[in-house]
Structure 1
Amino acid sequence: MNKIPDSQILVIFGASGDLTHRKLIPALFELFERKLLPAKFLIVGVARTRQNTEEFRQSLLDSMIQNRTTYAIDNPHLTDFLRSVYYIVCDTTRSEAYEALFREIEQLRNAAGIDDNLLFYLATPPIMYPTIASSIEARHQNRSAEGWRRIIIEKPYGSNEAEARALDRLLCAIFPEREIYRIDHFLGKETVQNLLVLRFANSIWEPLWNRNYIDHIEITATETLGVEQRGLYYDSAGALRDMVQSHLLQIMAFIAMEPPATFEPEAIRDEIAKVFRSLRPLSPDDIARHTLRGQYATGTVDGQKVPAYRDEPRVDPQSTTETFAALKLYIDNWRWADVPIYIYTGKRLAEKRSEVVIHFRNTPRTFFPGQCCGNSCNQLVITLQPDESIRLRFGLKQPGTNFEVSQVSMDFFYSSLIETRLPGAYERLLLDAMRGDSLLYSRSDALELSWHFLAPLLESWERDGDEGLITYPAGCKIPREVVDRILPDPCLLEENACTLCNTRRP
């Protein structure tokens, strides 16, 4: 697992953009600091912006200092790291421009004595994926007789099932499936990876990890932010595409998958695909009764008044795009038959929190006052952000003469590991791609199956337009309709009941 990658060149298309400056280069510098990059390694930024290598390096330095001051200012290794960064101006929309691009990359590779290994990262708008991939193939750079070629693409992988299939067919015709890395930064989080260890390294869970002992599962991802400067993208995507399809369904698969035969990437990805194949299709009745979409209105977040979604920059004033999505789903297999899984996610809510809650079944009888509420007595809570932690909740007797029960928890917080730094998601995922480890990347079949599952819901919401779209004030904990229609027991949110909202569009 700690193998140093082969010598290689990382080619970043769209290098002048925000993703490269805020995520990719800082992650690569962290890997450099931890001595996890190969001894012979170059980063080649490619974009249309007119600048030379020195100007590009300076822009990266300025960005790193601005965004992570303590980590970049006066760091003696930063200059050494930036010496491995180069920049090539290329109009990636023009196929003929790639010949000069790859000629320059080859010159850099030969000068540095690097093996014929290229990792392409497409940090560009998705509309450019087919053009770049096809142009790489046209210059015969999609394969190498003496090395390898890999490609990383960012979400969204299409906006519906048909587009996802078309993109996938194109990429798989150019690169072998094993060399295509569909990145999902949620899967790079340490706590998400720990789901696998928690389940498969501890015998206490496996006997309980099924429909006999688990009542239901919640998977949530809420945030206080609005769409910020992403209005144009978000208005064409929405919460279902942006969060559920790409992030939360993948987390669900980690929770629900069967133990793999071996801890090898393909064995684990086989089990993930089986979960998606077992999802119960959403009927029109399921969509009407077990799904909900909403859009934030004006409100207050962290003491600041914020605008409604329709008033955000670059958002259609008549938009029906959802900023909140909730759904109830089932996995029709032996382990999970009739165990509901509740997924909800939204923007401009009261807090930023992503977590998984496993709700175990209640005792057959209730003997003690205060024992619990509904089926939420015993919970395993896995928090992904902001306070990465794992908590086990159960009831204990309160001190005194009566048998009165209060809920307590045994907690583990990653922050308690004082001398252990949690690596960022992009650090782990970039390093895995450099090593050729695809465990935390989506495979073609799982991607298509997830789109296929959501297709009826997407079509229904697009067809309904404004009908059925609720609004909720920014800063709300969670829309009241989620409790009324989706969640099985209002007691699950009893501590937040006073902040539930119930605002409908006129």
Structure 2
Amino acid sequence: MGNTSPNDATSFVLFGGTGDLAMRKILPALHEAETAGRLPHALRILIVDRSCASRADLMAWLDTCVRPHLAQSGPACAAWTRFVERIEYVRLDFSRPQDFVALRDALRDALRDTSTAHAHATREKPLYYLATGPALFVPICRALAALDLTRDARVVLEKPLGYDLQSSRQINDEVGQIFAEEQIYRIDHYLGKESVQNLLALRFGNTLFEPVWRREWVESVQITIAEQLGVEGRGEFYDSVGALRDMVQNHLLQLLSIVAMEPPHSMDANAVRDEKLRVLRALKPVPANDIDSVAVRGQYDAGVIRREAVPAYAREAGIARASTTETFVALRVEVENWRWAGVPFFLRTGKRLAERAAEIVITFRPVPHSSLGNESGRPGANRLVIRLQPDEDIRLHWLAKRPGEGMALQPVHLEIDFDRFFAPERMDAYQRLLIDAIHGRLALFVHRDEQEAAWRWVEPILRDWKARTAPPRPYLAGSWGPAASSALLARAGMCWMEEEH
């Protein structure tokens, strides 16, 4: 079991604990933390929902629905037994504030069980994880406050946090009346990925890259999050959101801010988040009269994924037949500051694409004079690729002499494979973020100001696309998106990385 410290949460309270996110991500991540001995000894897990009639029904659900999502090695019997022993079930209706008395009683019982053995636990320190729709965030927080259940507490908010800048502000304002900013943990699971953390280590722990991490030496930056999946039974929800809200406003802009941020004075939460915020505030405003010059939206048509025919987006369950919701977005972004002025950042995300992949590509400028032949001056010969999924690794691409006579060059790469080097110590993104929230570490969570700066930047695009009657550009499922996405880079004399092969 993990060591317990005075700052640790004493109870992990999971609202929406039998939902899809809890089943696929949150509970498996907590189990893996249990298996690795990372959970504090005294931590209780309270699953709050109304779908199970009793704890016995919940245990059956855990065994049937959660265990298949555990690590491929399968759950060790001892670890699974320890894990389920931590779990209690509180059945309540989130829309009925009077039902929250049952949660208050359960928290008091948990405190009585642990305070004798752990003298520091003089009062309950709950961590509330709201794995629900955003419409329930404020009602749940109000119900907790009405029963004095927010003191010494933390709350984790899942995305999407609002539909636009105004709704995001409204949720933040109302939750902020109940919880202080340092109690609020807005989660973006991409920030918990090992490769993203190693990007910070690569830049700020080594002298090799920092001198060239700037406009004089960097030609372009590409950030891609590509999915092969479609809407997967979430059609009604996704059709009201779209790729720009679902992926760009949070994941992609957060990754951009980490790539472009200045060195923080420390890894303190405020220092890191302040530097990311400066990047988001420095994003060049989107030209309201010429959105098409920097933004491409697409929607997948019928095609083939993994040798199986898949339907068009408009034929998926829950999708309006005349829907203009985008399933693909490509953007050209610029950061207007001293370090990055003039360097294009290309962002891309979409569903039903050719591969499942997430990566950051830093392309360095070619040498100023090709004294070793044309190959040494080839654009993209020197690049750094940080791969986030499906595998996590970092590759440095460069040129070396081909064996034999003459000075012929060929591309080679150096690779750090995190599975090979760090497998025993690695945590997946959700596990890392859950452990940080349990221990009260905020650095990998999103500040309200970051969130609002991101919404402010995407709003002109949202307004433009909403006003249009023309549909998004179609693209075949199994492709890399509409041709206009390639044209966006071609106008800058560049191409997406996969198009080089």
Place the TM-score, normalised by the shorter chain, in its bin. Answer: over 0.9
Q: In 2, Cα distance between the equivalents of 1:464 and 1:486?
A: 24
Matches within 5 A, 1:1-400: 4-5=4-5, 6=8, 8-68=10-70, 70-72=72-74, 75-113=77-115, 114=121, 115-143=123-151, 148-371=152-375, 375-400=379-404
Deviations 1:272-314 (A, max 9, x none): 1111111111112451211100000000111111000111111
Show the counterpart of 1:502: none
The percent identity for this pair of structures is 37
**Residues 275 and 73 (structure 1 numbering): CA distance in 2 closer, same or farther, change over 3 Å?**
closer
* Worse-superposed segment, 24-33 or 401-410: 401-410
**Root-mean-square deviation (Å):** 2.0
SS in 2 for 1:217: strand
TM-score by length of 2: 0.94
For the residue of structure 2 that corresponds to 1:12, the secondary structure is strand
CA contact (8 A) 1:217 1:340 kept: yes
For the residues of structure 1 that align with 2:85 and 2:3, how far apart are their CA atoms? 24
CA–CA distance in 2 between the matches of 1:52 and 1:264? 43
Q: Which amino acid aligns with 1:125?
A: G
**Counterpart Cα distance in 2 of 1:3 and 1:453:** 43
1:342 partner SS: strand
Name structure 1 gaps, 5 residues minimum: 499-506
Tell me how far 1:178 sits from its aligned partner: 0.4
- Structure 1 stretch displaced more, 458-467 or 378-387: 458-467
2:191–2:444 contact (8 Å) kept in structure 1 = yes
Alpha carbons 1:357, 1:379 under 8 Å: kept? yes
TM-fit CA distance, 1:216: 1.0
Cα offset, 1:97, TM superposition = 1.6
Q: 1:155 to 1:79 in 2, by over 3 A?
A: same
Shift of 1:223: 1.3
Provide the C-alpha distance between the structure 2 equivalents of 1:478 and 1:319, rounded to a whole number of angstroms.
18
Counterpart amino acid of 2:242?
G
- Measured after TM superposition, the shift of residue 461 of structure 1 is 0.9
Question: Which residue identity does 2:308 align to in structure 1?
Answer: Q
User: Is the CA contact (8 Å cut-off) linking 2:46 and 2:90 kept in structure 1?
Assistant: yes
Structure 1 counterpart of 2:118: none
- Is 366-375 or 177-186 further displaced after alignment? 366-375
TM-score in terms of structure 1 length: 0.93
Distance change >3 Å, CA 211–CA 157, structure 1 → 2: same
In structure 2, what is the Cα distance between the partners aligned to 1:400 and 1:382? 32
My pick for the range that moved more, 27-36 or 152-161, is 27-36
How far apart in 2 are the matches of 1:272 and 1:97?
40
Report the CA distance shift for 1:307/1:220 in structure 2 as closer, same or farther (over 3 A). same
Aligned partner of 1:422 in structure 2 is 426
TM-aligned CA distance change 1:93 to 1:323, over 3 Å = same
1:57–1:85 Cα contact (<8 Å) kept: no
2:396 counterpart SS class: strand
1:335-372 deviation line (CA, Å, top 9, x unaligned): 11111110011111111110001111112233444516
**Which residue of 1 is the match for residue 487 of structure 2?**
484
Task: Report how many residues are paired.
Answer: 492
Q: Which one-letter code corresponds to 1:296 in the other structure?
A: Y
Q: Which one is further off, 187-196 or 482-491?
A: 482-491
Contact 2:369 2:377 in 1 (8 A): no
- Displacement of 1:494 after TM fit? 7.5
- Partner SS state of residue 174, structure 2: helix
1:83-106 per-position Cα deviation (integer Å, ceiling 9, x unaligned): 110101101101222223312322
CA distance 1:179–1:211, shift in 2 (3 Å):
same
Q: Which amino acid aligns with 1:275?
A: V
Does structure 2 retain, via aligned residues, the 8 Å contact 1:3–1:435?
Answer: no
Q: Which residue of 1 aligns with 2:473?
A: 470
Name the amino acid aligned to 1:127: A
Residues 370 and 377, structure 2, Cα contact 8 Å, conserved in 1: no
Q: State how far apart, in whole Å, the 1-side matches of 2:268 and 2:103 are.
A: 36
8 Å CA contact 1:374, 1:491 repeated in 2: no
Contact 1:290 1:486 in 2 (8 A): no
Q: Aligned partners of 1:314 and 1:106: how far apart in 2?
A: 42
The 2-side partners of 1:215 and 1:134 are apart by: 49
Following superposition, the deviation at residue 488 of structure 1 comes to 5.1
Letter aligned with residue 331 of structure 1: V
Please state whether the residue corresponding to 1:387 is helix, strand or coil. coil
